[in-house]
Structure 1
Amino acid sequence: MSVTLPLEESDLRVDAATAGPWQTVVWNDPVNLMSYVVHVFREYFGYSPARAERLMLAVHHDGQAVVAEGAREQMELHAQAMHDYGLWATVREAGTP
């Protein structure tokens, strides 16, 4: 015999919070060279030279750039990969400043 319990309001909030989309954000730092950041974006994400440079310039001039958007788990993997390359990255819900 199976029993179906009603969803709690907190369960609905959790589902909505993980639904996404989410973003991986790379932040400016005083350590990494601009050419290295371009290299990372090209190597890891497979971005074209122009796109990788455009994102690097956003990081440099604006202090941050959204480098990927999608499901939360995938964005967390991207952020961890950026950390492995020595870049500062975070995950945030899309639409969050």
Structure 2
Amino acid sequence: MTLSSPELDERTDLRARYDVPWTTVVWDDPVNLMSYVTYVFQSYFGFSHDRADHLMRQVHVDGRAIVASGAREAMERHVEAMHGFGLQATVERAPGADA
């Protein structure tokens, strides 16, 4: 039995939607110092001090910041790492991604 092109394309589209549009979100908490959050962003993600400070301030002011995006498995690893540093983090679909 041979698969037609439309069926193959549909399966590829579903796989692409599952793999790509995910983010790591870090949430504000009353425990960690702002300098520590900046340090974590620099040491784990390799962000410059300015970028890490900007994201930390976004966490502090907005209550959350998207710190990474990509495949779901990679975002889950980032969340685990953030938990290891004592930060609250979750995996979410990227803004505008189809559910």
Provide TM-score, normalisation by structure 1: 0.82
Please state how far the C-alpha of 1:13 moved relative to its aligned partner: 9.4
Distance between the aligned counterparts of 2:78 and 2:2, measured in 1? 37
Provide the residue aligned with 1:35 in structure 2.
35
Specify every segment of 5 or more residues in structure 1 that has no aligned partner in the other structure, as ranges: none
Give the count of matched residue pairs. 90
- State yes or no: 1:65 paired with 2:26: no
State how 1:7-26 maps to structure 2 within 5 Å. 15=15, 18-26=18-26
Specify every segment of 5 or more residues in structure 2 that has no aligned partner in the other structure, as ranges: none
**Root mean square deviation of aligned Cα:** 2.0
Distance between the aligned counterparts of 2:69 and 2:41, measured in 1? 14
Distance between the aligned counterparts of 1:27 and 1:55, measured in 2? 11
Distance between the aligned counterparts of 1:13 and 1:59, measured in 2? 33
Provide the residue aligned with 2:54 in structure 1.
54
Matched residue type, 2:34: M
- Percent identity, aligned pairs only, is 56
Please state how far the C-alpha of 1:15 moved relative to its aligned partner: 3.3
Please state how far the C-alpha of 1:17 moved relative to its aligned partner: 5.1
Please state how far the C-alpha of 1:95 moved relative to its aligned partner: 1.0
- State yes or no: 1:91 paired with 2:91: yes
Matched residue type, 1:54: H
